[in-house]
Amino acid sequence: MTPAAPLSPLEDDDLLHEILLRLPPQPCSLPRASAVCRRWLGLVTDRKFTARFRAHHRKPPLLGVFHRSDSQGIAFTPLLDPPHRIPTLRIDLRRRYKDYNVLSCRHGRLLAMNPRHTKLLVCDPITGKRCRVAVPRVFSQFRQSRGSLLCDDRAQYHVHGGCHSGHFKVVLMTEHTLGFIPTACIYSSKTKTWGKIMSTAAPSEHRYYGYDFPGVLIGNALYWLLSVGMGRDMLVLDLYEQSLAVIAWPLITSEFQSGYRRIVEAEDGAVGLAILSYPRFRIWQRNANLHGVSTWEIWKTIDMNNIPGIPRNVANYGMYKGHKNDCTVIFEAVATHDLWIWHSFFGMPGSNNGINVLNCSPIFSKLVEGHAPPVNYVINGRHYNKGYYLADGIYPKWSTFVKTISKPSTPKLCEFVKKQEACRKDVERAFGVLQQRFAVVWFPAMTRSKDQMWEVMNCCVCLHNMIIENERKHPVPLAEQQAPYEREGPFAQPNHQVPPSWAAFIAMHQEIRYYTMHQQLQDDLMEHIWTLRGNADAN
């Protein structure tokens, strides 16, 4: 009798089972395998196999994020690339729950609240199962609530992400309107009831609690940052004991005081605090000693410049970017021929153009309020009472701007463009001198906030002007001495209560934007420059 031929690897169910078990946990992996034949279809749809598949990969992939959209309501944004990308309409909650606010999304479920803050929606986007939970009446006297959602399956080998039919818990967190007291309550789908109302006294310096984000689940507790104000604390909700407590942060050096903070899970399931202060990333871990006393210790300090694959300008992502994708903050300035800076405005992201900066700048605030120093001069026989700025072609045709001409066609226009652009180089020279004198202006200040950078820039400008004054060879006219450096000041505030002041404000506002005066001033300057050139040629 001829012995039976050995089975190929794909014909052995046990071996095929192990091969399919190691497919990547992407949404299309098992459906594609099931399309091979009926035998494969039976294997990948078996409940025991799917349970082993989830247990083998443990953490399922992140399919996308839910967020609140003013125009669409609860919107879904997929994150995976094709062919694993989930279509937006596949998980569509925009029509039925347009006015709901997203509170949390964890363990494959979504938690949202209706506009009146009376009902919660727990939804499984994959299966479409929905459950509504009434908010306790006692929460009506509280401020706007925040919530967290988590699976309530305590099985030893349970893998989160496939809990489509299991029980869940809802944690509702808020603060009392009378004393800024953190208050929480837990709902269980097993008993379909809310638990006791929990509260705790927080340090008095906290006036706003940092639980805009869902609580971070570590072990059997949820953690929130209490990071606003002078306090450095965390709010802890023990899910088993159902109790609230406040714990202090670790002692943080000044280097990490203004970094980005997040609560993370550290080694062995301990709570950790991660702070990014580019280029260093530091994580503290909270450990308990033999006597049960908890202390904070530095767990890791990472230099991000030494991590392979991370570009040097990683701190620029999501921050201020210019046209070169570098960290850029726009600095608007007005300078004269001797490089003295008369006005500065600092702080807008580098992705804006000149028009955006002009619309946000208070450069004409004093002029429109009638507080600007008087400026009187005569050009080509006409009297003018307002100063003007030299600008390029992108700026609007206002009476306070003298723009260049993009395509001059006559000798007179060419002479005007030559003089105008030559004088505009003064402000560029002022920028260059400022950068050469103060390195902090040239190199990005990664660890500083925008307010701190604003103070640094104004300090550099003041020091720059002091140097210019000291190096001047000729005495400054008295009128210029009485006009101080105008750093970024308040925006114009018209007085609507006094009719004459309001009428003067509107009149000056319209006069600044007067196109006819802009064209007239430009023509007079052309004639004046052309006349000066003719006199020079004649001599």
The pLDDT tens digits of the residues spanning 292-320 come to: 788 888 888 888 777 776 655 554 444 55
Nearest to 461 by CA among 450, 453, 472, 471: 453
Q: What proportions of the chain, in percent to the nearest 5, are helix, strand and coil?
A: 30, 25, 45
Domain-ending residue, one of 195, 219, 235: 195
Tell me: pLDDT of 400 over 60: yes
Residues belonging to the chain:
539
pLDDT of residue 536: 56
Q: Residue 257 domain-assigned?
A: no
What's the distance, Cα to Cα, between the start and end of the chain in Å? 124
Which residues have a Cβ under 8 Å from the Cβ of 287 and sit 6 or more positions away? 270, 294, 295, 297
pLDDT per residue as tens digits for the range 215-249: 888 888 888 887 544 457 788 888 888 888 888 87
Least confident residue range of 222-231, 405-414, 517-526: 222-231
pLDDT per residue as tens digits for the range 85-143: 888 777 777 667 777 888 888 878 888 888 777 888 888 887 778 888 888 877 766 65
Domain-ending residue, one of 175, 195, 215: 195
Q: Residue 340 domain-assigned?
A: yes
User: 349: part of which helix (H) or strand (E)?
Assistant: strand 341-349
Average pLDDT, the chain: 75
Average pLDDT over residues 396-418: 86
pLDDT of residue 7: 61
Average pLDDT over residues 500-529: 80
Q: Residue 70 domain-assigned?
A: yes
Angle between helices 47-57 and 13-21 (to 10 degrees): 40
SS3 137: helix
Instruction: Tell me if 362 sits within 8 A of 371, measured CB to CB.
Output: no
Average pLDDT over residues 172-185: 72
Q: Which domain holds residue 508?
A: 329-538
pLDDT of residue 321: 52
The CA dihedral of 269, 270, 271, 272, to the nearest 10 degrees, is: -100
Same-domain pairing of 187 and 335:
no
Rg (CA), the chain: 33
Nearest to 107 by CA among 85, 91, 118, 122: 122
The pair phi, psi for residue 444, each rounded to 5°, is -65, 135
Same-domain pairing of 191 and 333:
no
Our count of domains for the chain comes to: 2
Q: Residue 394 domain-assigned?
A: yes
Q: Residue 456 domain-assigned?
A: yes
CA angle 92, 96, 98 (to 5 degrees): 85
Query: Model pTM?
Result: 0.54
- Neighbour count for residue 135 (Cβ, 10 Å): 22
Q: Residue 450 domain-assigned?
A: yes
Domain-ending residue, one of 149, 178, 195: 195
Least confident residue range of 116-125, 178-187, 255-264: 255-264
Tell me: pLDDT of 189 over 80: yes
pLDDT of residue 207: 45
The residue written with tokens 């209706």 in the block is 114
Q: Residue 320 domain-assigned?
A: no
pLDDT of residue 474: 64
Amino acid, res. 467: I
Q: Residue 305 domain-assigned?
A: no
Instruction: Tell me if 281 sits within 8 A of 304, measured CB to CB.
Output: yes
pLDDT of residue 230: 41
- Tell me whether residue 121 is exposed, middle or buried, using C-beta atoms within 10 angstroms of its C-beta: 0 to 12, 13 to 18, 19 or more: buried
